[in-house]
Amino acid sequence: MTDAAYLLVHGDREYLLEPGEEFGTDLGVLEIPDDVAGGDEIETHLGTVFEVRELRGPDLFNHLERTGAPMMPRDVGLVMGHTGVSGGDRVLDAGTGTGILSAYLGRAGAEVTTYEVDPEFADVARRNMETAGVADRVEVRTGDLSEELDALADDAEPFDVLTLDTGDAPDIVARAPELLVSGGYLAVYSPFVEGTREAVMAAREAGFEGVDTFETIQREMDYSDRGSRPSTAGVGHTGYLVFARAP
């Protein structure tokens, strides 16, 4: 990994800052030394002390600059759990969006090639990969993955995992066996059931095995003096994930 940013914490305030950066807050100016390390304490010029923390995955979700709707940690967890992605795996991803999924995969040790069709989003994602310390493992390519399939199938070494979070995922799934090693995994995220069904049908048609779909619902627990129960704040649906294994 390359040098990542650090999290500066005081109470419920959190700032993601780079070594050498100067940052003004209403509690004073923070000057981050070049040799800053996790566990340090840095005082603003007005005397407020901030704790320095090493960056972790959820900090990326909370603090990276957002463009395309980022994947939530619960969905990232399912992708990692159901594909078993790990150090050294080659992952093909689209669309990059904010780059949350790509950054998590890179921090887990995978070599990620990710496509983003919007050039401005791609620029932001490249900066986000620097901040996350994975610019050497996550290559953000500007382009429409569906237009790169021929070139990738002809020239690229096959990938271990393909992750898709785009509206046109079903079209890409149809070509996915040409991109993946036999036994490699496909993971498709869709916020809607219609796109999910299309992805499942495309995966079956393309000969994928073990095509499974999971809806992601997460219930947060509330604890009060009266008792403990799931939060009444909402159902907590984020979307659907389709997993399948390449023939």
Ligand X SMILES: C[S@@+](CC[C@H](N)C(=O)[O-])C[C@H]1O[C@@H](n2cnc3c(N)ncnc32)[C@H](O)[C@@H]1O
Q: Is 115 in the site for ligand X (CB under 6 A)?
A: yes
Q: Which is nearer to ligand X, 36 or 101 (CB)?
A: 101
Q: From the list 30, 32, 97, 195, which residue makes contact with ligand X (rule: CB under 6 A)?
A: 97
Q: Put the strands of the sheet holding 6-10 in their side by side order.
A: 13-17, 6-10, 49-54, 41-43
Q: At what angle do helices 119-132 and 100-107 cross, to 10 degrees?
A: 30
- Burial level of 53, CB count in 10 A (0-12/13-18/19+)? middle
| Residue among 89 and 165 whose Cβ is closer to ligand X | 165
The 3-state DSSP class for residue 81 equals helix
Residue type, 234: G
Tokens of 75: 């969905």
Q: Residue 6: which region, alpha, beta or left (left: phi > 0; alpha: psi -120 to 50)?
A: beta
Residue with tokens 């790509």: 102
100 binds ligand X (CB under 6 A): yes
Contacts of residue 131, defined as CB under 8 A and 6 or more positions apart, other chains included, come to 4, 5, 16, 18, 60, 64
CB of 215 to ligand X, least distance (A): 17
Q: Do 211 and 177 contact (CB within 8 A), yes or no?
A: no
Q: How many residues does the chain have?
A: 247
Residue sitting closest to ligand X (CB): 95
Q: Which is nearer to ligand X, 9 or 149 (CB)?
A: 149
Q: Is 59 in the site for ligand X (CB under 6 A)?
A: no
CB nearer to ligand X: give 18 or 118: 118
Nearer to ligand X, 6 or 121 (CB): 121
The interface mask with ligand X, positions 140-169, x = CB under 6 A, is ----xxx------------------xxxx-
Among 16, 80, 94, 162, binds ligand X (CB under 6 A): 94
Number of residues counted as binding ligand X (CB under 6 A): 24
Stretch that binds ligand X, among 115-123, 150-158, 196-204, 221-229 (CB under 6 A): 115-123
Between 10 and 39, how does the x/- string for binding to ligand X read (CB under 6 A)?
A: ------------------------------
- Site residues for ligand X per CB under 6 A: 67-71, 94-95, 97-101, 115-118, 121, 144-146, 165-168
